[in-house]
A and B are shown apart, each in its own frame.
Chain A
């Protein structure tokens, strides 16, 4: 989930298990959401997106769920692999009049253990 204070929340997952990463977003008018993955020493990379007219979207091994009622976004990773170890960020965007400007969560550190 979202971090408070100076430390990222950490999700420790055993290799092969499914991971669920949660995010509470802030703006009820946000209508476009993205999950990013950031590996150590690299810039964030796009994983999957979802628009507010959907509540679920699937990619390769990843699924994003959107619950607008409670302003909650989740990322599910199936059969987690060592290469999935990274920090995961959710981002929200108010498409209208925002010049494509996103607001990012603080991130969740995912650690995959053998």
Chain B
């Protein structure tokens, strides 16, 4: 079964901390995505990557950066966590022209 694995289900971090969210897929997919999900706002795209070392900004990249050093791993970095970054973070991967496979999500709380 294909899998997208997010390293943490729940995280609590302090304001100002640097936070790393990790995502690994085992399907050899070229595309990987980071979304955040907030009540009533749906899924909003933060960053995506269509190849190793390639990255593109999504709709809400401010306050975030990403890293894709290997095809299977896509990391989301919160440079200096703030309370408005408290959210559910979803990683997804896909082949071109096909739908996403999502991870289970990381619920991040910034206090």
Chain A residues proximal to chain B, CB less than 8 Å? 3, 5-8, 32, 34, 36, 41-46, 49, 89, 91, 95, 99-102, 104-107
Among B41, B48, B95, B103, the residue within 8 A (CB) of A43 is B103
Task: Please give, as numbers and ranges, the residues of chain B lying within 8 Å of A45 by CB-CB distance.
Answer: 102
Whether the pair A100, B97 counts as a contact (CB closer than 8 A) is: yes
Task: Please give, as numbers and ranges, the residues of chain B lying within 8 Å of A107 by CB-CB distance.
Answer: 42
Whether the pair B100, A102 counts as a contact (CB closer than 8 A) is: yes
In B70-91, which residues have CB < 8 Å from any A CB?
90
Mostly helix, strand, loop or mixed at chain A's interface? loop
> What is the CA–CA distance of A44 and B35 in the complex, to the nearest angstrom?
12
Closest to B101 in A: A46
Per CB-CB distance, the 6 closest pairs between chain A and chain B, nearest first, are A43-B102, A6-B40, A106-B42, A104-B43, A99-B50, A34-B99
Q: Does B94 contact A (CB under 8 A)?
A: yes
CB distance from B19 to the nearest CB of A (A): 19
Task: Please give, as numbers and ranges, the residues of chain A lying within 8 Å of B90 by CB-CB distance.
Answer: 43-44
CB distance from A81 to the nearest CB of B (A): 22
Chain B residues proximal to chain A, CB less than 8 Å? 4, 31, 33, 35, 39-43, 45, 48, 50, 56, 90, 92, 94-105
Whether the pair B99, A102 counts as a contact (CB closer than 8 A) is: yes
Task: Please give, as numbers and ranges, the residues of chain B lying within 8 Å of A42 by CB-CB distance.
Answer: 104-105
Whether the pair A44, B102 counts as a contact (CB closer than 8 A) is: yes
> What is the CA–CA distance of A107 and B35 in the complex, to the nearest angstrom?
15
> What is the CA–CA distance of A89 and B45 in the complex, to the nearest angstrom?
15
Task: Please give, as numbers and ranges, the residues of chain B lying within 8 Å of A95 by CB-CB distance.
Answer: 97
Closest to A31 in B: B97
Task: Please give, as numbers and ranges, the residues of chain A lying within 8 Å of B92 by CB-CB distance.
Answer: 43
> What is the CA–CA distance of A106 and B100 in the complex, to the nearest angstrom?
17
Whether the pair B31, A100 counts as a contact (CB closer than 8 A) is: yes
Task: Please give, as numbers and ranges, the residues of chain B lying within 8 Å of A7 by CB-CB distance.
Answer: 39-40
Closest to A102 in B: B100
> What is the CA–CA distance of A105 and B37 in the complex, to the nearest angstrom?
11
A43-B102, A101-B33 as given contacts; A89 in contact with B43, CB under 8 Å: yes
> What is the CA–CA distance of A32 and B95 in the complex, to the nearest angstrom?
14
